[in-house]
């Protein structure tokens, strides 16, 4: 029971995330062919980034740590209507200021986008960026509504919809590009309105998925007080931390805009980067939050520590080998997915380099998802906030410094270095509180999988340069090396990690039983 409490829900989240990310890759393949790495691509990605810059600030990773512990307190009570009343008040607390914010941004869009137009001399392109951004920015409302309703589902340990909801936007863009030839509309505006229509569909699905009892509470006035202030005392540090991180990404994108096509290189690389991050780090972190909160709420600290260590084991045994494989196959993956239409060989080369530098920080980015939930479960959100402030400041300094020496490549390198610093800062805080401490067993796990991943990297590079693969297609190279890595991985786990092998067998049996019942 305890083993499946983390493993099975995390796997379920990963499966639906995989589908969502798969549709996301298909979307990017269509976009790469449709727009290439042109100024139109830069305009669309900048316009799309504006509302999505707030996604992290209102994402499950940011919203859930503050929402779930308080929701859990109401869920433990006999009167279940209190939890719905709490959700309703949270919803209105966000909707009203966000709607006003959207109106202000729409009015002052030219001034807001001024910094993104420093390197553009064409007035037509500037006007197009302003118009497209005004169309897409109201999508922020969809992000807010999604965060609250998905937080409610996750609090009740329902993770599937939250993992797959973004596939709606991906599928909508794919369909719109596929039928564009039949519609005589400017490409960039056509895509912008597609984003808004997809957002409306997402909201409708979420409204339908919420528990019917919520709407009974929603439609009536209730004077009972709920812990709104307590929620915001937990939420504001995560909001600031996430907003600073997104501000750094925007600044990185602004810096990249001084080199033609660099915004697109960074965009496609980030899309690929978040695939393993979501499937592994985010999946484990999302499932860890309600379980950790429940243990600590019931004063079961030992089980909370054990659960966190188990999560770290899942993390180490997966993220190191995956990172190694992705670095080895980076050029082939980029070429296979995007190299067509206006996305050239040069675009593949540059995007692959950016992706590889981002991957250097992938283990750290996933580990942050394991370290953060504890501080929100004990209602100490300022600790990760201060660590994030230091990390983001370092990231900003590194981006500005490295750009002078290595151009746009300095942006992903700065992000990777600052993420490892964030891990170090969070771990120091854990160690102070004697919660998650890297003991001898964890050190062995880390070193074991790290060295194994180094071996896989060297092996992969040697095989790529042999006559066996050098003249084959990208698809064959990816399939062959992925299969080879997986074979070596399972052999390694069988001989050197029997505990994980037993858990995989147990998990497989549970999935099989669920499938046939």
DSSP string across 99-143? HHHHHHHHHTHHHHGGGGGTT---HHHHHHHHHHHHHHTTHHHHH
Question: Tokens in use for 21?
Answer: 């990310």
Q: In the prediction, which pLDDT does 3 show?
A: 42
Q: In the prediction, which pLDDT does 161 show?
A: 72
Helix (H) or strand (E) holding 176: helix 167-178
Cα–Cα distance for residue pair 127/133, rounded to 1 Å: 10
Residue 10: how many other CB atoms lie within 10 Å: 24
Closest to 8 (Cα-Cα) out of 346, 510, 517: 510
Cα–Cα distance for residue pair 224/302, rounded to 1 Å: 35
Question: Tell me, what DSSP letter sits at residue 78?
Answer: S
Closest to 281 (Cα-Cα) out of 307, 310, 324, 312: 312
Cα–Cα distance for residue pair 341/279, rounded to 1 Å: 29
Q: In the prediction, which pLDDT does 224 show?
A: 63
Of the CA atoms within 13 Å of residue 62, those in its CB half-sphere come to 25
Cα–Cα distance for residue pair 390/113, rounded to 1 Å: 27
Who's near 358: CB < 8 A, 6+ residues apart?
269, 270, 273, 412, 415, 416
Helices 410-432 & 262-276 angle (0-180, nearest 10): 30
Helix (H) or strand (E) holding 2: helix 2-35
Helices 410-432 & 362-371 angle (0-180, nearest 10): 30
Cα–Cα distance for residue pair 250/231, rounded to 1 Å: 28
Question: Tokens in use for 142?
Answer: 């969809």
Q: In the prediction, which pLDDT does 118 show?
A: 43
Residue 179's SS3 state is coil
Question: Tokens in use for 378?
Answer: 């004990």
Cα–Cα distance for residue pair 488/3, rounded to 1 Å: 25
Query: Is there a contact between 55 and 143 (Cβ–Cβ < 8 Å)?
Result: yes
Cα–Cα distance for residue pair 136/134, rounded to 1 Å: 6
Question: Tokens in use for 111?
Answer: 């001034």
Q: In the prediction, which pLDDT does 394 show?
A: 94
- Counting every residue written for the chain, the total comes to 517
Biggest CA-to-CA distance, the chain = 75
Q: Which residues of the chain are modeled with pLDDT < 50? A: 1-4, 118-119
Q: In the prediction, which pLDDT does 285 show?
A: 76
Q: In the prediction, which pLDDT does 139 show?
A: 92
The model carries a pTM of 0.75
Q: In the prediction, which pLDDT does 6 show?
A: 63
Query: Is there a contact between 170 and 27 (Cβ–Cβ < 8 Å)?
Result: yes
Helices 382-406 & 228-256 angle (0-180, nearest 10): 0
Question: Tell me, what DSSP letter sits at residue 340?
Answer: S
């Amino acid at each position: 029971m305890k083993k499946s409490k983390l493993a099975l829900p995390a796997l379920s989240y990963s499966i639906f995330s995989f589908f969502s990310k798969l549709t996301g890759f298909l979307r990017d393949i269509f976009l790469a062919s449709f727009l290439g790495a042109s100024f139109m691509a830069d305009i669309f990605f900048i316009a799309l980034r504006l509302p999505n810059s707030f996604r992290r600030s209102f994402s499950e990773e940011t919203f859930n740590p503050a929402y779930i512990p308080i929701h859990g307190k109401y869920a433990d009570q006999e009167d279940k209507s209190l939890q719905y009343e709490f959700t309703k008040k949270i919803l209105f607390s966000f909707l009203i200021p966000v709607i006003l914010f959207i109106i202000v941004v729409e009015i002052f869009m030219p001034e807001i986008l001024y910094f993104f137009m420093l390197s553009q001399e064409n007035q037509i392109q500037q006007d197009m960026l302003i118009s497209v951004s005004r169309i897409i920015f109201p999508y922020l409302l969809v992000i807010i509504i999604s965060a609250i309703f998905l937080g409610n589902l996750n609090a009740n340990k329902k993770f599937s919809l939250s993992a797959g909801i973004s596939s709606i936007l991906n599928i909508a863009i794919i369909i719109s590009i596929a039928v564009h030839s039949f519609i005589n509309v400017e490409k960039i505006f056509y895509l912008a309105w597609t984003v808004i229509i997809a957002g409306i569909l997402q909201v409708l699905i979420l409204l339908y998925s919420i528990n019917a009892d919520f709407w009974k509470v929603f439609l009536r006035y209730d004077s009972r007080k709920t812990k709104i202030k307590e929620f915001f005392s937990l939420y504001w540090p995560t909001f600031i931390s996430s907003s600073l991180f997104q501000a750094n990404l925007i600044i990185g994108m602004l810096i990249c805009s001084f080199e033609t096509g660099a915004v697109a290189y960074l965009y496609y690389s980030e899309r690929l980067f978040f695939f393993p991050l979501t499937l592994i780090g985010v999946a484990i972190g999302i499932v860890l939050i309600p379980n950790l909160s429940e243990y600590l709420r019931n004063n079961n600290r030992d089980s909370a520590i054990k659960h966190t260590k188990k999560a770290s084991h899942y993390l180490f045994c997966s993220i190191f080998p995956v990172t190694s494989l992705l670095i080895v196959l980076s050029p082939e993956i980029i070429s296979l997915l995007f190299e067509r239409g206006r996305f050239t060989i040069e675009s593949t080369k540059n995007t692959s380099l950016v992706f590889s530098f981002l991957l250097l920080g992938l283990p750290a980015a996933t580990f942050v998802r394991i370290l953060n939930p504890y501080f929100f479960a004990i209602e100490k959100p300022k600790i990760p906030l201060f660590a994030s402030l230091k990390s983001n400041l370092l990231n900003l300094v590194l981006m500005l410094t490295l750009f002078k020496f290595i151009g746009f490549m300095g942006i992903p390198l700065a992000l990777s270095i600052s993420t490892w610093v964030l891990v170090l800062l969070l771990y120091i805080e854990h160690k102070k509180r004697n919660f998650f401490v890297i003991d001898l067993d964890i050190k062995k796990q880390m070193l074991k999988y790290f060295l194994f991943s180094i071996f896989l990297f060297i092996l992969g590079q040697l095989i790529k340069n042999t006559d066996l693969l050098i003249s084959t297609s990208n698809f064959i190279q990816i399939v062959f090396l992925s299969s080879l890595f997986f074979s070596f991985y399972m052999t390694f786990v069988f001989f050197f990690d029997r505990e994980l092998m037993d858990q995989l067998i147990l998990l497989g049996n549970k999935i099989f039983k669920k499938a046939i019942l």
